[in-house]
Amino acid sequence: MQLISLAQATRQARAAIARSPLVLLAGFLAAGFALALIHHDGEHPDLLRALLAATLGLPLGVALETTRERRRLRAQWAWVIRVVAAATLIGFYFAAREWTSKLLAIRYLQLSVVLHLLVAVLPFGSGGTERGFWQFNRTLLQRFVLTTLYTGVLFAALALALAAIDKLFGIDVDNDAYLQLLVLLAFVFHPWFFLGGLPADLDALEANDDYPGAVKVFAQFILLPIVTLYLAILTVYLGRVLVTRTWPSGWIGYLVTSVAVAGTFALLLVHPIRERADSRWVNVYGRWFYVALLPSIGMLLVAIYQRVHQYGVTESRYFLAVIAFWLAGIALYYSVSRSRRIRLIPVTLCIVALATFLGPWSAVAIARRSQVGRLRTLLLRNNLLAGGQVRLAAQRLPIEDQRQIRDALKYLMETHGKPALARVSEDLRAAAEGSSETFPVAAVMDVLGLKENESSDAIFFAEGKVAEPRIVTGYDYLVRANLLEPFVIATGEDSLAFTFAKTPPALHVARRGRTLLEINLGPLIEMASAIPGAQSPRKSGPGTGLQPLRLDAQGGGIRLRLLVTNLNAGRVQSELQLNHALADVLVGIDDPSP
């Protein structure tokens, strides 16, 4: 039986060479480039670009070869397609030589998504049945998981053998040998074994009724309940946002996207059993899942708008917005039409992914225009730019503007390269290219008369062992509170509820669920940062002259004064963040009825 299995494996390996020479060639080239890159300790940009181009040939080759087989193209056309595919990959390599490392990563991931989606949709993109389409993709997924498992086990066994040779026989095994072994298995064995198990007759999948029980158990009893749980959490959180009238948390986008992807994947897995008598509930679930997802998508769009309005468009925000709009369209379509066409999901996603890669509407083009416009606006607002010429700062800029200028400069140079600054001013580009640094933010900031290395943390202490007296004349209530923690001030028969919003830092004051005041805490951070030595902890007792930070607000029938004695703030991914704020909160009631 072992000889028969070995003979069968050999036949499959030979058949894979005849069926998909482009895929195996890409795998061998990727392995060669990767081994050479290891030899150069990963410090060879041209080898890295060649490796990435070769790895793109793996999904591209699978998509083209499976489509060729299903469409039964003639041999001459097959070789024309392979030559065009090879030319496309070579074109990617030469185009990548003009990109920064960050831009290379973005574009590579975009193309990788497009090509993997092509594997799923191109052979069955038109014609055939939904059953054949599902069975084809199920076969691909099942074969990929099995191949990855075999590759992992084989690597673990061979790596352990190398370690045994090293330890038991005293034969020195270079540490790079383990990485080289992984490269050979990942780029040679993995695609070869994967191709050897693909069905020879793709048309026969149209009549295949097989449905693995393990898939049903996983999707119906594990994945769907988990998706339901997280969808419920999102819905409750949306209710909290509406009641408290606070902006959604910044990371809500990742949660909404993850729930939507997991739910869609689960529904795709159970698609063949949706018409079975014992699984009719899946149809109902599939429709109402998208209905329930729509409010969370709306919340996601609000969160994206907030970030874009504050800090402009970047590639990550662009992708998140595109995914949100695509999810909204898919959810509306399946909610209204009751369609069972599953091909629509990968086909439209592939089109959207390709559209975001090319043209003036692409992620890279729109993000660059947005950040160039944002930087130009900041410079004009602070009189640092006139007629395309830069000016030295005549006075200290607000901390928020200075840091936004620095972040915009850093983004443009790291992502789009130094020449991108010419879209704002030739002076900025010349300063960047005249510096010997790889990303010379400091040189460009120096041209503007600004400091690049100013600390991003502001720490303020105005309270020693003996507290300063607080004057409360004109106010009705005084409490000591941590502004980042929710607290309530009882005002006779009523009460005021205080809640903190993280991004941007703000304090919300509500009565009976109605917001009376929304106080921006950003000025507190600017006041703390403007104090000499604020970046180092300072303590003072009575008589030192260091007074609490004061912030007044009025509205909704109340007056509010914050006397902040302890503050810690910083910046995370270009966004202002308040880490701690201890204050005396003085409240005056002018009108108890609102």
- Residue 452, in any domain of the structure: no
Report pTM.
0.75
Give CA–CA dist 240/234, Å, rounded.
10
Domain that holds residue 533: 458-589
Asked if residue 568 is part of any domain, the answer here is yes
The residue written with tokens 């191109």 in the block is 122
The reported pLDDT for the residue numbered 536 is 45
Residue 222 lies in a domain: yes
Determine, yes or no, domain membership for 373: yes
| Contact (CB, 8 A) for 248 and 202 | no
Helix axis angle, 252-269 to 281-311, nearest 10°: 150
Is residue 312 assigned to a domain? Answer: yes
Q: How far is CA 56 from CA 89, 108, 351, in A?
A: 7, 8, 18
Are 435 and 441 in contact by the 8 Å Cβ rule? The answer is: no
171 in the same domain as 285: no
At 37 the pLDDT is 95
Q: Could you tell me if 223 and 184 lie in one domain?
A: no
Q: Are residues 48 and 173 in the same domain?
A: yes
Contact 181, 159 (CB under 8 A): yes
Q: 193 with 33: CB under 8 angstroms?
A: no
Residue 402 CA from chain centroid, whole number: 26
Task: Name the amino acid, one letter, at 192.
Answer: W
Q: What are phi and psi of 126, to 5 degrees?
A: -140, 145
pLDDT value of residue 468: 53
Cβ atoms 140, 116 nearer than 8 A: no
Instruction: Give yes or no for a contact between 52 and 96, defined as CB atoms under 8 angstroms apart.
Output: yes
HSE-CB of 487 using CA atoms within 13 angstroms: 14
| Same domain assignment for residues 523 and 583 | yes
Per the listing, tokens 């994206």 go with 304
| Closest by Cα among 375, 378, 540 to 467 | 540
Q: Is residue 336 part of a domain?
A: yes
Instruction: Report how far residue 577's alpha carbon sits from residue 503's, in angstroms, rounded to the nearest whole number.
Output: 7
Residue ending a domain, among 447, 479, 500, is: 447
Same domain, 501 and 389: no
Q: What is the pLDDT of residue 1?
A: 37
Q: Let me know the angle formed at the C-alpha of 343 by 342 and 348, rounded to the nearest 5 degrees.
A: 115
Find the radius of gyration of the CA atoms of the chain: 30
**Structure confidence at residue 544 (pLDDT):** 46
Q: pLDDT truncated to tens, each residue of the chain (594 aa)?
A: 344 466 676 777 777 787 888 899 999 999 999 999 999 988 899 999 999 999 999 999 999 989 888 888 787 888 898 899 999 999 999 999 999 999 999 999 999 999 999 999 998 876 677 888 999 999 999 999 999 999 999 999 999 999 999 888 888 888 899 999 999 999 999 999 999 888 878 888 888 888 888 887 888 888 888 888 988 888 888 887 777 766 666 667 778 888 888 888 888 888 887 767 666 677 778 778 888 889 889 888 888 888 888 889 999 999 999 999 999 999 999 888 877 788 899 999 999 999 999 889 999 999 999 999 999 999 998 889 888 888 887 777 777 788 889 889 999 999 998 899 989 988 888 888 877 665 578 888 888 888 655 544 556 666 544 445 666 778 889 998 999 888 988 887 788 999 998 878 899 999 888 888 999 998 888 787 776 654 444 444 344 456 788 999 998 889 999 998 888 877 655 567 788 888 999 999 887 766
Backbone angles phi, psi at 199, to 5 degrees: -65, 140
The rounded distance, in Å, linking the Cα atoms of 492 and 512 is 14
Burial category of 444 from C-beta neighbours within 10 Å (exposed 0-12, middle 13-18, buried 19 and up): buried
pLDDT at 330: 92
- The number of folded domains in the chain is 4
Q: What integer pLDDT is reported at residue 341 of this predicted model? A: 84
| Domain limit, last residue, from 334, 355, 376 | 355
Query: Is the same domain home to 506 and 562?
Result: yes
What tokens appear for 327 in the block?
């999810």
Which of 447, 475, 497 represents a domain boundary (last residue)? 447
SS3 544: coil
Tally Cβ neighbours within 10 Å of residue 245.
14
Same domain, 480 and 517: yes
Going by C-alpha positions, the residue among 436, 367, 449, 360 that lies closest to residue 408 is 367
Peptide bond into 548 cis (omega under 30): no
Tokens of 301: 């769009």
**Chain Cα centroid distance, residue 74:** 42
Residues 22 and 164 in one domain: yes
Residue 197 and residue 290 in one domain: no
What are phi and psi for residue 110, nearest 5 degrees?
-60, -50
Residues 320 and 375 in one domain: no
588 sits in which H/E element: strand 575-589
The tokens for 138 are 């199920």
Residue 244 in any domain: the answer is yes
Q: Nearest Cα to 48, choosing from 105, 86, 87?
A: 105
DSSP class of 539 = -
The answer on 534 and 564 residing in a single domain is yes
My answer on whether 341 and 267 are in the same domain is: yes
Establish if 594 belongs to a structural domain.
no
